[in-house]
Structure 1
Amino acid sequence: MSSMFKLYQKLLRKYPLCVQSVQAGILMGTGDQIAQNFVERRKIEDLNFMRSAQFVCIGCCLAGPATKTWYGILERYIGSKNSVAAFKKVLLDQGCFAPAFVAVLLTVIATMQGNDIEGVKKKVKADYKDVLCNNYKLWPMVQLANFYFVRLEYQVLVVQTVALFWNTYISYRTNRDVERTHKNV
């Protein structure tokens, strides 16, 4: 196991954006599979692997790069020397990044579900407030610990690990109406 972690550290040092993007994709896809298997209780033949692939793409192309870049910006302008810096990071993260990221995430998911512009607007409007409110129930404390205790290069990993459960919620939340619609067609 330690050799795997050493390989991870080596790759993370050499290719930080790529590694953090891939790990975000894997964990987002896994979150979708947890949602389908355990929350929605689908049978294997009813699993939507395209939906999981879309979550992998969102993690690799959006969540991983966005969080890695955002944490770098926070580190550059605020630093990480003390609890005040961690608190400032949480305020910026939850006050600026989270509302914008939730909107973008919901927009991307709704678009990948095949919605037109009006459908995307409707889905985002229907889900945004609840998702953002639930975000504030989980992420401020996670981020406070993350920004205070965890070295910068591991912060995306910590967030994506916790996000495994968050992604399960997001997957279920953003697909519950889609699945009902497809069953009724």
Structure 2
Amino acid sequence: MRILRFFQRQLATRPLPTQMCIAGTISGCGDCFAQYMSNNKGWDKWRTARFSFLSSCFMAPTLFIWFRVLEKVKGGSRTLLLAKKLCIDQLCFSPLFNAAIIFNLRFLQHQSIGKSCELLKEDWLNIYATSLKV
């Protein structure tokens, strides 16, 4: 119970740093689990570090700001408001955010800027289309 109260207090008083820590931790743990389940080559600690860094230092702050912007959308019934927010998110923000994540991940994998852009062009449409299905 103490840990939960501490977490809730931190989230209330320091929302962004708390969300950054949580995002990095969840992403790192998720990558460790994925590596454990998918290969027998051992643990790639640098891959885990890249995912944790990207989640905590790029994704969490970006989403922190974006969701506050999205909350400013007003008007209509509850269902219409939800539809508006969903469309704005999936048609305006998601394509750019997906592209930024793909580029940054490749760049953190020591790809050059040119190579990261090239790989982004190859992968983006498929990733974005799949995210729309989800």
Please report the TM-score for the alignment, with normalisation by the length of structure 2. Answer: 0.89
Unaligned runs of 5+ in 1: 139-185
Q: Is the 8 A contact 2:31 2:48 kept in 1?
A: yes
The answer on whether the counterparts of 1:22 and 1:59 sit within 8 Å (CA) in structure 2 is no
- Indicate the residue corresponding to 2:25 in structure 1: 26
Distance in 2 separating the partners of 1:120 and 1:48 = 21
Gap runs ≥5 in structure 2? none
Code of the aligned partner of 1:15: R
Corresponding residue of 1:9: 8
Query: Aligned letter for 1:52?
Result: T
Question: Measured at CA, do residues 60 and 82 of structure 1 come closer, stay the same or move farther in structure 2, by a change above 3 Å?
Answer: same
Question: Displacement of 1:136 after TM fit?
Answer: 1.0
What's the offset of the Cα at 1:121?
A: 1.6
* Distance in 1 of aligned mates of 2:124 and 2:30: 19
Q: TM-score if structure 1 supplies the norm length?
A: 0.66
Identity rate of aligned residues, in percent? 27
- Contact 1:106 1:124 (C-alpha < 8 Å) held by counterparts: yes
Partner of 1:99: 95
- Residue among 39, 42, 58 paired with 2:40: 42
Q: Is the CA contact 1:78–1:89 (under 8 Å) kept in the aligned structure 2? A: no
Aligned pair count reads 133
**Two-structure CA RMSD over aligned residues (Å):** 1.7
Deviations 1:99-136 (A, max 9, x none): 00000001101101111122112211222111111111
Whether contact under 8 Å (2:73, 2:81) holds in the other structure is: no
**Secondary structure of 2:39's aligned partner:** coil
Q: How far off its partner does 1:19 sit?
A: 0.9
Deviation at residue 67 of structure 1 after TM alignment? 0.9
* Cα distance between partner residues in 1 of 2:74 and 2:50: 34
Counterpart residue number, 1:183: none
Displacement after TM superposition at 1:16 (Å): 0.6
Q: Does 1:85 align with 2:108?
A: no
Contact 2:20 2:61 in 1 (8 A): yes
Q: Which has the higher helix share?
A: 1
Q: Which moved more, 1:116-125 or 1:63-72?
A: 116-125
2:115 maps to what in 1? Answer: 119
For residue 6 of structure 1, report the CA deviation from its aligned partner: 2.3
